[in-house]
């Protein structure tokens, strides 16, 4: 049973008050109602003071803001605002409207609006799953024969690091009652960028090497011949057993494939290579694991420094070799 006095109980206390003290009134009331939680003389004192001040035993209306969640006009205003600017945060909306973030979220939840995350998706063609399956089966056979097989592959990739930075999906929301299928709008033509080639061979970081302008087959061949392969020489005289590259147009040049056939006969992975690399499969490369961290690090440097002056060593080793081994 609740300790809170009902309206009838409050009236009863007023009626029996008379000339008695608050303690006597409390004791009398408790004797009349042995099954309910007892009241104290302080409760009697507060109730009688309220009655003498207001002429009523009822509680005064509570002050404060009206619950906006029950206000239809406010709900319509909030939904209209997010319809116009769906990427606005609830924090910004609260500052501009004076409505608490909790109330705004309740309104959105009541009307089944959801904060959709920005999705960075890779477009797939119809035959891509089959190519991925074929490559996965080949790699599985190799790993069964040699568990350290992946440590003998030189994984490579190029990446454009944009001056406007990498999109942090955690900071982006799109409020809507239907899925907007929101994609990354920041990588548009004309955005200033720096292209970098980098490789991973076991625990060794190869590069990075900076590329001026757009990369073409002749420039890519020169990069491999003059920079990449000479940097692979070790004191122990070891060399990667396999070389991996994706299907980018510069990698598909006839002269590039001929050069790789000389350096890695029957042992290079790529578009139309001895081992076919499944297109649109960045998740199969070690380089893709560190790409998000890389973009966040590079974006600040490319605003204020030439590529040649950037601290490349600390950037590359930010991607732990332990990750490469575990993968």
- Average pLDDT of the residues in 216-245: 87
Q: Quote the domain boundaries for residue 153.
A: 128-170+183-326
pLDDT band at 24 (very low <50, low <70, confident <90, very high): confident
Residues 253 and 294 grouped into a single domain: yes
pTM for the model stands at 0.52
83 and 46 in one domain?
Answer: no
In 10 A of CB 50, how many CB atoms?
A: 17
pLDDT score recorded for residue 289: 43
In a domain, 60, yes or no: no
The more confident residue out of 166 and 163 is 163
Q: Check: CB of residue 105 under 8 Å from CB of residue 79.
A: no
Q: Give the integer Cα–Cα distance in Å for 129 and 23.
A: 84
Mean pLDDT of the chain: 77
Closest by Cα among 296, 226, 225, 298 to 263: 225
Q: Does the residue 72 lie in any domain?
A: yes
Q: Does residue 304 share a domain with residue 162?
A: yes
Residue 115: beta bridge partners? 175
Give how many domains the chain has, as a whole number. Answer: 3
- Decide if pLDDT at 131 tops 60: yes
pLDDT band of residue 63 (cuts 50, 70, 90) is low
Confidence of residue 2 (pLDDT cuts 50, 70, 90): low
Q: Are residues 23 and 136 in the same domain?
A: no
Q: Are residues 135 and 236 in the same domain?
A: yes
Cβ neighbours of residue 246 under 8 Å, at least 6 residues apart? 157, 270, 271, 277, 279, 281, 282, 285
* Cα 107 to Cα 75, 86, 91, 93, 95, distances in angstroms: 6, 14, 14, 12, 16
Give me the CATH number covering residue 232. Answer: 3.30.420.10
How confident is residue 245, by pLDDT bands cut at 50, 70 and 90?
very high
Q: Verify that 308 and 166 share a domain, yes or no.
A: yes
| pLDDT score recorded for residue 5 | 78
CA nearest to 74, candidates 53, 99, 38, 43: 99
Provide mean pLDDT across the span 146-166: 82
Residue 62 domain-assigned (yes or no): no
């Amino acid at each position: 049973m609740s300790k809170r006095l009902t309206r009838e109980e409050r009236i009863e206390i007023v009626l029996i008050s008379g000339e008695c003290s608050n303690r006597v009134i409390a004791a009398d009331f408790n004797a009349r109602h042995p099954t309910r939680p007892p009241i104290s003389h302080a409760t009697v004192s507060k109730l009688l003071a309220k009655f003498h001040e207001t002429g009523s035993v009822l509680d005064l209306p509570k002050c404060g803001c009206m619950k906006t969640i029950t206000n239809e006009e406010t709900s319509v205003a909030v939904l209209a605002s997010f319809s116009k600017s769906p990427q606005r945060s609830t924090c910004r909306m609260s500052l501009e409207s004076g409505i608490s973030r909790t109330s705004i979220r309740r309104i959105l939840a009541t009307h089944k609006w959801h904060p959709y995350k920005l999705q960075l998706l890779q477009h797939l063609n119809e035959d891509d799953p089959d190519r991925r399956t074929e490559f996965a089966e080949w790699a599985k056979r190799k790993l069964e024969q040699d568990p350290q097989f992946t440590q003998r592959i030189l994984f490579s990739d190029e990446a454009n690091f944009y001056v406007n930075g990498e999109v942090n999906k955690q900071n982006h929301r799109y409020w809507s009652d239907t899925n907007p299928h929101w994609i990354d709008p920041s990588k548009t033509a004309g955005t200033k960028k720096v292209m970098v080639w980098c490789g991973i061979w076991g625990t060794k970081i190869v590069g990075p090497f900076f590329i001026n302008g757009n990369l073409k087959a002749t420039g890519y061949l020169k990069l491999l011949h003059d920079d990449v392969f000479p940097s692979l020489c070790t004191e122990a005289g070891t060399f990667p057993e396999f070389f991996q590259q994706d299907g980018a147009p510069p990698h598909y040049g006839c002269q590039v494939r001929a050069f790789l056939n000389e350096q890695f006969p029957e042992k290079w992975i790529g578009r139309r290579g001895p081992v076919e690399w499944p297109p649109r499969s960045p998740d199969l490369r070690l380089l893709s694991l560190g790409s998000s961290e890389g973009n966040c690090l590079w974006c600040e440097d490319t605003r204020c420094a030439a590529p040649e002056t950037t601290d490349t060593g600390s950037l590359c080793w930010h991607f732990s070799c332990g990750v490469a081994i575990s993968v």
